[in-house]
């Protein structure tokens, strides 16, 4: 075996020994553990999670939901039509309100599903679309 191979094997051995020593250190495991935990259906904690996620019964207005959309719809980021920009909205409005609703819920081109507002209901997203369309006619 030549000297380079011996040196490479020695370095590999040292690295492996370091990894084993680190893996045995329980403090690292404690430091990198997840903050929360996963609760699966059927476990005792699942009933508590459902209670927390219960609907409060108060839907947000279209304008309130739009405020979550301003990152893109106030700046035009990712090709989003700006609120009030009649020229940008006209061809979209021309496709029909149902197409706009579908795009807001399912995503379209640069817009992700629900505009990343995963706590928004479909009806709240539709209200936001209605608000933006009415402001942009």
* 34-82 pLDDT per residue, tens: 776 677 777 776 665 444 444 556 789 999 999 988 888 998 888 899 9
- Cα separation, 65 vs 124, in Å, equals 7
**pLDDT of res. 9:** 83
Q: Spelled out in words, what is the top-level CATH class assigned to the domain 62-135?
A: mainly alpha
Q: Is the dihedral of CA 33, 38, 39, 43 positive or negative?
A: negative
pTM of the model: 0.59
Whether the CB-CB separation of 103 and 110 falls below 8 Å is answered with no
Tell me the H-state helices in 25-121: 26-32, 44-52, 62-66, 70-73, 86-94, 97-106
Whether the CB-CB separation of 117 and 68 falls below 8 Å is answered with yes
- Pick 45 or 84 by higher pLDDT: 84
* 99-122 pLDDT per residue, tens: 999 999 999 988 899 998 989 999
**pLDDT of res. 99:** 93
Q: Which residues contact 135 (CB under 8 A, 6 or more apart)?
A: 83, 84
Other CB atoms within 10 A of residue 129 CB: 22
Residue intervals of the chain classified under CATH 1.10.760.10 are: 62-135
- Cα separation, 13 vs 19, in Å, equals 10
Whether the CB-CB separation of 117 and 69 falls below 8 Å is answered with yes
**pLDDT of res. 49:** 47
**pLDDT of res. 13:** 79
């Amino acid at each position: 075996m030549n000297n380079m191979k011996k040196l490479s094997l020695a370095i590999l051995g040292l690295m492996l020994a370091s990894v084993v020593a680190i893996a045995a250190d329980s403090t690292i495991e404690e430091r990198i553990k997840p903050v929360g935990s996963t609760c699966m259906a059927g476990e005792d904690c699942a009933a508590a999670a459902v209670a927390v996620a219960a609907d409060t019964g108060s839907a947000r207005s279209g304008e309130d939901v739009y405020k979550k959309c301003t990152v893109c719809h106030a700046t035009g980021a990712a090709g989003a039509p700006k609120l009030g920009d009649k020229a940008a909205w006209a061809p979209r409005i021309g496709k029909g309100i149902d197409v706009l609703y579908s795009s807001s819920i399912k995503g379209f081109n640069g817009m992700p599903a629900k505009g990343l507002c995963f706590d928004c209901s479909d009806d709240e997203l539709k209200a936001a679309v209605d608000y933006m369309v009415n402001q942009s006619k």
